[in-house]
Amino acid sequence: MSALVSPVWYFAYGSNMETATFQGRRGISFSRALPARASGWRIVFDKPPVVPGGGAVANIVTEPAGVVFGVLYEITPEQLAHVELTEGVLIGNYHRVEMWAESLAAPAFATTAASVASDRRDPALVPTDRYMGCVIAGAEEHGLPAAYIAYLREVPVCHETAGVRELIDAVFHELRPRS
């Protein structure tokens, strides 16, 4: 990261926790990735997908006694803008939220981080098995607490069809940063 660009912190709590998704599909090269938690929030899996026919995706809602675990990524402001583009912030799919996040890695520290949340919720939806596989893989990859990973494994899922998967892959291919 250039010394002239001040980094920002992005808090990922869903499939973006997985490096293969964040760096691979979204095309974000981060400087640091740290396991973290944000108090005052709770994870839910009830946000309708952008692509019709897919399962629910992760979302966060405020809850005074809640805690959500995730990954703090150190990225550039330009990269944060790209994350928000691919998350659909410009079309109202999500909106940016600022939160106080604490690193679980030594040496521990706390910082303000950007993340995304949505008011679009449908409690009848469940995530796909493929999506939850990415979320769980990211949680394991970054060493999130075992009890949290066990909770993620218990989230009910549905199966994703090949047609929906192909459409989602095509959309992300078009949104990747060009060199």
Position 161 pLDDT exceeds 90: no
12 occurs within a structural domain = yes
pLDDT tens track for 97-156: 999 999 998 888 999 999 999 999 999 999 999 999 999 999 999 999 999 999 999 999
Q: How many C-alpha atoms does 52 have within 13 Å on its Cβ side? A: 0
Please give the C-alpha separations between residue 22 and each of 6, 156, 172, 176, in angstroms, as whole numbers: 20, 24, 11, 11
**Above 80 in pLDDT, residue 18?**
yes
Range of the domain at 58: 8-175
Q: Residue 51 corresponds to which amino acid?
A: V
Average pLDDT for the chain:
90
Domain count, the chain: 1
Does residue 21 fall inside a structural domain?
Answer: yes
- Please indicate, yes or no, if residue 38 is contained in any of the structural domains: yes
CATH code at position 19: 3.10.490.10
Asked whether 35 and 19 are in contact (CB, 8 A), the reply is: no
Decide if 3 is inside a domain. no
Residue 2 lies in a domain: no
Q: Would you state the pLDDT for residue 5?
A: 79
Mean pLDDT, rounded, for 70-91: 95
- pLDDT tens digits for 41-50? 999 999 998 7
Q: Would residue 58 count as lying in a domain?
A: yes
pLDDT band at 178 (very low <50, low <70, confident <90, very high): low
Q: How far apart are CA 87 and CA 21, in angstroms?
A: 12
- Asked if residue 117 is part of any domain, the answer here is yes
Residue 20, phi then psi, degrees to nearest 5 = -60, -30
Q: How confident is the model at residue 166 (pLDDT cuts 50, 70, 90)?
A: low
Does residue 133 lie in a domain region? Answer: yes
Name the phi and psi angles at 26, rounded to 5: -85, -15
CB atoms within 10 A of CB 84: 18
